[in-house]
Amino acid sequence: MLHLSWQVGIFVVGLAVVAAGVVMLAFPGPGWAVIFAGMAIWATEFVWAQIVLRWTKRKVTAMAQRALDPRVRRRNIALTVIGLVITGVLCGVYLWKFGLTAPWDIEYR
């Protein structure tokens, strides 16, 4: 009975931490880190949480290795530069066409 109540307590605490992490996904805060902390709390008692946590660690490690690949980095840098150039051109066209009006110069009707 004591072990069951301990597991229920761990589940409730882990659930509260995971729920706080989910809320932090929509609001300011380290949402994913808090969700993983809640999973780590669950992993102290539940095998399914250990399996999910191990799988997540493998995937994050693989993604980090892929991100450090020089070809992928060059591609990401090139795409970022292209995106910034397109954004700059669009902003320039907008300013050329409509100009820049300070908020205090706007006339209200």
The number of angstroms, rounded, from the C-alpha of 56 to the middle of its chain's C-alpha atoms is 14
Task: Look over the chain and give the mean of its residue pLDDT values, rounded to a whole number.
Answer: 87
pLDDT at 86: 97
Q: Helices (DSSP H) in 27-98: which residue ranges?
A: 31-43, 47-67, 70-98
pLDDT at 103 over 80: no
Rounded CA gap, 85 and 71, in Å?
21
Q: Do 7 and 26 reside in the same domain of the chain?
A: yes
The number of folded domains in the chain is 2
| DSSP symbol at 91 | H
Q: Do 76 and 32 reside in the same domain of the chain?
A: no
Tell me the pLDDT band of 109, cut-offs 50, 70 and 90. low
Range of the domain at 81: 70-100
- Residue 93 covered by a domain: yes
Q: DSSP 3-state assignment of 70?
A: helix
Q: 95 to each of 86, 87, 91, 104, 106, how far by Cα in Å?
A: 14, 12, 6, 18, 16
Q: DSSP 3-state assignment of 5?
A: helix
Q: Do 4 and 17 reside in the same domain of the chain?
A: yes
- Residue 105 covered by a domain: no
Q: Do 21 and 35 reside in the same domain of the chain?
A: yes
Rounded CA gap, 72 and 68, in Å?
7
Mean local confidence (pLDDT), 82-93:
96
- Residue 108 covered by a domain: no
pTM for the model = 0.54
- Residue 32 covered by a domain: yes
- Residue 38 covered by a domain: yes
Tokens of 59: 């995937």
Q: Do 59 and 81 reside in the same domain of the chain?
A: no
pLDDT tens-digit map of 12-65 = 998 899 899 889 888 888 888 888 899 899 888 888 888 988 998 898 888 888
Q: Do 15 and 43 reside in the same domain of the chain?
A: yes
Mean local confidence (pLDDT), 83-101:
91
